Amino acid sequence: MQCVTTSQSGALYISNDSAVCDYVLITQAELQSLQLNGVIDTLNQLFAFDLEVFSIINGGMLVAFFTGHAIGRIARTMGKV
């Protein structure tokens, strides 16, 4: 990677000073690597399996199932009496 700065006339020139960096020149291989890593990162963020969220949802569903099952049993028993 090389830093490129602009002159007053708008021309671009390579700068050795890394503190002043208007633009960055990269090679084709670096561009492909960045694009591939960007796609992989995006896919990981969109489709990553979050264990914490899964455990919260799974726990809530289990509590709802057993609560509903117990209420159903109680209602059935009360209906027979």
Q: pLDDT tens track of the chain, all 81 residues?
A: 678 888 889 888 888 776 777 788 888 888 888 888 888 888 888 888 889 999 999 999 999 999 999 999 999 999 987
**pTM score of the predicted model:** 0.44
Note whether 3 and 14 are within 8 A (CB): yes
The confidence score (pLDDT) of residue 65 equals 98
Domain ranges across the chain: 1-48, 49-81
DSSP-H helix ranges across 1-81: 28-47, 51-80
The confidence score (pLDDT) of residue 34 equals 81
**Residue 21 CB: number of other CB atoms within 10 A?**
13
The Cα–Cα gap between 24 and 57 comes to: 45
The Cα–Cα gap between 62 and 54 comes to: 12
The Cα–Cα gap between 20 and 2 comes to: 11
